[in-house]
Structure 1
Amino acid sequence: MSTTIYGIKNCDTIKKALKWLDNNNIKYRFHDYRVDGLDEQLLTQLCQFADPQQMLNKRSTSFRALSDEQKATLDNESLKVLFLETPTLIKRPLLVKDTESHLGFKPEQYQTFFKL
């Protein structure tokens, strides 16, 4: 079983998710978009697990910084371009385990996801 969690290390939600994984003895690899990068190939893989519309973090300061015109024209292709330019627009964390994925963090959802 291979588990990877995607996000940025200074995100409070990421910190909570990583702590939960550690406390439940779940082995994982952490991929920090800022340190490890986000390229088109990785984004294409991630979009196989989650729809770009669902991946969009509308609560982020990055989203609020978008112009009204950009917000009005957010189709999947334009989102992918924006994600590559500004990975903080991606909802965090994105957890991928084998062929399954989960967006966001809530302890009870992780409990179900990992069947604990």
Structure 2
Amino acid sequence: MKLYGIPNCTTVKKARAWLEEHDIPYEFHDYKKQGVPADMLLKLMGRLGWEALVNRNGPTWRKLPDATKTQVKDAKSALAVMQENSSVIKRPIVERDDQYRIGFSEADYAAFFKK
């Protein structure tokens, strides 16, 4: 199982703490140190759509130039922005047995890991 994100993100910290409290082992993939895996993003975009992955409410998105924001209109342009600005990806992303969860809520994690 992998958890993708940025270590100083508050939501990622909550997810990691929840996993550790429940003794669920995971491998952490740090976007800042290890980069953004395009294959994983492409798979998720195919399943959920690119809109589900782009965090348009976060500070990174707000700081992007307007020209960049207006160019994000499809999967290809979204992928380019996410690879260039990993902080614009909603997080954390959990990958387990070819199933994915984006974001963190205790109820969602409890249901997902009960399986």
State how far apart, in whole Å, the 1-side matches of 2:64 and 2:41 are.
Answer: 22
For 1:44, the aligned partner's letter is D
- Identical pairs, percent: 34
Partner of 1:9: 7
State how far apart, in whole Å, the 2-side matches of 1:46 and 1:73 are.
Answer: 18
Partner of 1:47: 42
How much has 1:94 moved relative to structure 2? 0.6
How much has 1:64 moved relative to structure 2? 0.4
Partner of 1:32: 30
TM-score, L = length of structure 1: 0.87
Partner of 1:62: 60
Q: List structure 1 segments (4+ residues) > 3 angstroms apart after TM superposition.
A: none
List alignment gaps of at least 5 residues for structure 1.
none
How much has 1:86 moved relative to structure 2? 0.6
CA RMSD of aligned residues (A): 1.4
Q: Deviations over 1:28-84 (max 9, x none)?
A: 00001011222xxx2222321343211001122110012333323312111111111
Q: For residues 63-82 of structure 1, what are the structure 2 equivalents within 5 Å?
A: 63-74=61-72, 75-82=74-81
State how far apart, in whole Å, the 2-side matches of 1:46 and 1:22 are.
Answer: 25
List alignment gaps of at least 5 residues for structure 2.
none
Between the two proteins, the alignment pairs up a number of residues equal to 111
8 Å CA contact retained: 1:49, 1:100: no
